[in-house]
Chain A
Amino acid sequence: MTDLSLDGISLLLVWTAIATYVLAFAAYTIDLAQRSAASTVPARSVVVAGPNRSDLQGSEPHQSSGRTGGPPRRMWARIGTSLTVLALLFHLGGTLGRGIAAERVPWANMYEFALTGTLLIVAVYLVVLRLYDLRFLGAFLLGMTVLLLGGATLGFYVEVAPLMDPLKSVWLVIHVFVASLATALFALACGVSVTQLMQGRRERLLAADAAGNAARKGPRFLRTIPSAETLETLAYRFTIVGFMFWSFTLIAGAIWANDSWGRYWGFDVKEVWTFVIWVLYAGYIHARATRGWRGARSAWLSIVGFAAVLFNFTIVNIYFPGLHSYSGLT
């Protein structure tokens, strides 16, 4: 096979996407730095949109009609978003190319899981941007995307190979895709929860220090993003959608296992971790309805939940032998 095989082109596109993500990451980082530097604009008005919307639902046109007279244009954030869209196109091209080269869905081994999973993270982020101004998360999400996608391309890349028999199933298409979608939402929720923790800390410090100036209250860009409470609500919304998908993944996986291995549940390593993650997020949902667990504690649960998702995808796939040994690595 020459380098100009479809798979080779796909790989080239993936690297182009990674490079573009790095640029987008840089742009978002500059945006965060600028948010920190800008000092005069009252924090709220930057993101508070029309009077009837929650303070995250600002889209660009609304903001420019804001009451405080010309909030910052966030040029670097816009550049970041544009670059992200561009990178996503390369990424999509690379993923589709891989699928066409393999003549099947492009999510059947570790490299391809990473390819499709990160694609969905970015796509979900861009979709959500249309509803909420989450560009302060751009640096976090793209940084993670670059690490995961770059790491997978360096470490997990394998040439196109035919599917093993157990993978030839409609459930590969459904189960794995929905799991990736859930992962994308959990990633988003995790990013929001991290921000929520930082914001919550800042709010506590501010409340303690009424003068509110001298001491350091964490990164200054926090002044330009919504309150911890709003962030918490948002993280919750992403999580419950992700949780629906994850529940579906669990059930679909059981149906597949029942066809493939002759039992719907056998506490295989991967099944255990899928279950653990499900229970952790059920815990998160409960925490938000439990006195004393709202706020920071539930945010930690969201972060732990996503850590488990990443662990499941990386360490478990590579180092834990089990029936799900489809990483494609030897």
Chain B
Amino acid sequence: MSRSRSDSRTTSDPLRPSDHAETDTAVEVTNPSLSVTGWLRWGWTQLTSMRTALLLLLLLAIAAIPGSLFPQRSADPNGVVQWRRNNPEMFPLADGLGLFDVYISPWFSAIHLLLFLSLIGCVIPRAKHHYVALRSRPPRTPSRLSRLPAHRELVVAADAERAIVSASDMLRRSGYRVERYDQRGSFSVSAERGYLRESGNLVFHVALVGVLVSVAVGGSFAFTGQRVVVEGTTFVNALSDYSSFNPGRFVDGTGLVPYSLTLDDFRVAYRLPGTPGAGQAENFDAQITVRQPGEEDTATSVRVNHPITVANDRIYLLGNGYAPTLTVRNGDGDIVFSESQPFLPQDSNMTSLGIIKIPDGLPKQVGLVGFFYPTQGTLPSGAFTSIYPDVVDPVLTFNVFSGDLGIDDGTPRSVYTLDVSGLNQETGGDSEVDSLELRPGDTVDLPNGWGSVTWEIAEEQQPVKRFASLQIQQDPSSGGVLLFSVIAMVGLFAGLFVPRRRVWVKARVDEGLVRIEYAGLARGDDPTLQRAIDELARRHSTSVDAHDTSAAAIDHSHDPSERNPS
């Protein structure tokens, strides 16, 4: 059989359940009259045609790819900075094309909006059509059942009408909707099942719209904030206490629920040297006390994969590191800085970088750029590095810079970076003064007699405090997205696997014998059609006490491919 036959069969067979995938409207309106509405209607028909849907889907797949080739601002902002540094000439062009914000770029949005427009335009008429199909009667029994793809004929010794009544009952019990069509000399029942297939398909497509709407609506009420919390300190859930805060469109940060989180202890275990995965960190555990007004304090723990929920906010553990406690005194011995300063990890052995800015109290503004090595080792070049992430042999080094720290001009500056370009380097580098180097409890002098730096021992067993970086967020879209995704899955399952078919049983009295024909026709893929017809014939014929006359001669079931001439 050629493919063209199968095509015509599936698209224009009047007996096939007509809620078939492809409606013919697309071809009907190929010659638009030149009026505006004519063109609009033509455009709409084109947009909602199956072919457009397919092309838009393929286009969507292709359009999504650049987002994996170029770093995206939303997922990897540092990658974008890096890319810009490496390709300064190309950057404006690439950025102009939206290659760093692919998924909110105009072209990507256009494709997915058109796709969903097409989807809605497609689903509405199909839903109407399906509604009609759901209430209509199974179609008239065709006169020549033997032409249908699944067919079987038996001769029985039974009353023709009684046989059809029993077939009708049997089909109804297996979930078919049945209708009798009797003529002179022949009795027949027409049966149809599998409306759930189309229902499932429609539910699936509508649920996709539901997912999209949930993302759009829920997303405007979402927020995400980050905050670094050092052991023993407390985070208060107010906008001013976040280190970064990304609100959705309808969130301004004034509605935050007042609660506080105290990091009591941060635990992490490292694989010992000499074991597989040596140095790998595991079992991160931020032990937290939650305080809410009017409620008892609760102690809980935030771990990777196990966020906690406080007042509808989800709180995640995103990172961790060391926060050495440092005290800086001026030449008179007055304290000008005393804090546990988070040092951000730079590699898997927790070599960490920290910045200390001292705008007041010293003869000049001073910035300290420090490195913390939890277990200090030395590279062949002589530079220090950390060779193990846990605190075994901790060392801190500082380079001292002086000059205008740029704090006073009002532009916000991160506490984790220091632009040293305009500053004067007092130690390390080309300054010919050694960098400061400290071990726990040490005090070293700042250059030029400006004062001293002391590394305070936090505790006997644990000389350095740790910090946890927490993400606090609310995303009202997630519930809806999950719900609609699950609905979509259920619809998908029904839409793909529920067989949709029509079955006819016809009994005819022929020379004193009763010939019964069983035939079936499917919409869409139906691997079990023939088996179902065979099974029906077997059960029905035994129930009406039939005898199968010489199966080889009368059994007319056939498979189209069997006669394939190739």
Contacts and interface: CB of A to CB of B under 8 A. Distances in A.
B239 interface: no
A264 interface: yes
B151 to A, nearest CB: 11
B375 interface: no
A266 B22 contact: no
A32 to B, nearest CB: 18
Contacts of A280: 58, 61
A266 B224 CA distance: 13
B561 A267 contact: no
A286 B53 contact: yes
B559 A283 contact: no
A298 to B, nearest CB: 10
Interface string B470-511: 010101001001100110110011001100000000000000
A109 to B, nearest CB: 11
B202 to A, nearest CB: 14
Contacts of B530: 52-54
Interface stretch (A13-21, A73-81, A230-238): A230-238
A254 B485 contact: yes
A59 interface: no
A279 B61 contact: yes
Contact of A244 (B304, B475, B493): B493
B399 interface: no
B280 interface: yes
B22 A290 contact: yes
B22 A43 contact: no
Contacts of B557: 51-52
B555 A276 contact: no
B22 A283 contact: no
B295 interface: no
A34 interface: no
A200 B318 CA distance: 54
B314 A262 contact: yes
Contacts of A263: 224, 473, 475
A268 B488 CA distance: 23
B318 A262 contact: yes
A162 to B, nearest CB: 5
Contacts of A159: 276
B68 A269 contact: yes
A229 B561 contact: yes
Contact of B7 (A54, A203, A230, A291): A291
Given A162-B277, A280-B58, A229 B486 contact: no
A307 interface: no
B559 A55 contact: yes
Given A52-B557, A280-B58, A283-B57, A161 B277 contact: yes
Contacts of B3: 200, 228-229, 294-295
A85 B132 CA distance: 52
A254 B485 CA distance: 10
B284 interface: yes
Contact of B11 (A243, A259, A291, A322): A291
B21 interface: yes
Contacts of A256: 305
Interface string A176-207: 00000000000000000000000010110011
B561 to A, nearest CB: 5
Interface string A209-243: 00000000000000100111110010011001001
Nearest to A47: B561
Nearest to B488: A247
A261 B530 CA distance: 50
A190 B549 CA distance: 44
B561 A286 contact: no
Contact of B566 (A206, A286, A289, A291): A206
B143 interface: no
Contacts of A161: 276-277, 280
Interface string A295-329: 10000010000000000000010001111000000
Contacts of A148: none
Nearest to A55: B561
Interface string B6-34: 11000100000000111000000000000
Given A55-B559, A165-B305, A267-B74, A276 B224 contact: no
Contacts of A162: 271, 276-277, 280, 282
Interface of A: 43-44, 48, 51-55, 159-166, 168-169, 200, 202-203, 206-207, 223, 226-230, 233, 236-237, 240, 243-244, 247-248, 251, 254-256, 258-264, 266-269, 272-273, 275-276, 279-280, 282-283, 285-287, 289-295, 301, 316, 320-323
Given A53-B530, A162-B271, A295-B3, 8 more contacts: A55-B562, A165-B284, A226-B561, A233-B525, A255-B482, A260-B305, A262-B316, A323-B75
List the 5 closest A-B pairs by CB distance, nearest first: A289-B21, A161-B277, A165-B304, A279-B61, A262-B316
8 contacts: A52-B531, A165-B283, A202-B566, A227-B564, A244-B489, A262-B224, A262-B314, A264-B481
